[in-house]
C-alpha cells in the first residue's frame, strides 16, 4: 500500500504528455499554386490541335515555358508534334491553363490549317 501513491504519481506523469498529443496541430495553409493552377485536360488540347490542323499527332509532352512565355503569365506548356498530309512536321506550343495557341512552327502551316467552322 505504501507504493500506491508512488504508482499513482507515475501513472499521472505518464499521462500528462499524452494530453498534449490529443490537440490537433495548426493546419498548414494550402499551397496557392496547387489550388489555383488548373491545366486543361491533355486530351482536350490534343483534340484542339487536330481540329485546327490536318495531320497525325506523333508526339505530345509537357514543357516549362520559355522566358518570354513565363513573362506573359504562362505556367506550363503542352507541346505537340504533328505530321501534315504533305509530310511536314509542325511543332505546336499551347498554354496548358488557357488552351491558347502560343506558337506554331514548321513548313506547310497554311496547307495544313483547317478552315474555321462556319458561324450559325
For 102, the enclosing helix (H) or strand (E) is strand 101-105
pTM, 2 dp: 0.68
Per the CB < 8 A criterion, the answer to whether 62 and 46 are in contact is no
What tens digit of pLDDT does each residue of 57-97 get?
A: 999 999 999 999 999 999 999 999 999 999 999 999 999 99
What tens digit of pLDDT does each residue of 1-58 get?
A: 555 555 555 555 555 555 555 556 566 666 665 567 788 999 999 999 999 999 999 9
User: Could you tell me the residue ranges of all domains in the chain?
Assistant: 37-112
- What fold does the segment set 37-112 form as a domain? Nuclear Transport Factor 2; Chain: A, (3.10.450)
The DSSP line for 11-68 is: HHHHHHHHHHHTSPPPPPPPPHHHHH--PPPHHHHHHHHHHHB-SEEEEEEEEPPPHH
Amino acid at each position: 500500500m505504501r507504493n500506491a501513491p508512488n504508482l499513482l504519481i507515475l501513472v499521472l506523469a505518464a499521462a500528462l504528455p499524452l494530453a498534449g498529443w490529443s490537440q490537433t496541430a495548426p493546419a498548414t495553409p494550402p499551397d496557392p499554386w496547387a489550388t489555383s493552377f488548373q491545366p486543361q485536360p491533355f486530351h482536350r488540347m490534343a483534340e484542339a490541335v487536330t481540329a485546327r490542323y490536318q495531320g497525325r499527332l506523333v508526339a505530345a509532352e509537357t514543357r516549362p515555358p520559355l522566358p518570354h512565355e513565363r513573362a506573359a503569365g504562362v505556367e506550363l506548356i503542352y507541346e505537340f508534334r504533328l505530321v501534315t498530309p504533305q509530310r511536314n512536321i509542325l511543332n505546336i506550343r499551347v498554354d496548358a491553363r488557357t488552351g491558347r495557341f502560343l506558337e506554331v512552327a514548321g513548313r506547310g502551316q497554311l496547307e495544313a490549317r483547317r478552315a474555321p467552322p462556319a458561324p450559325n
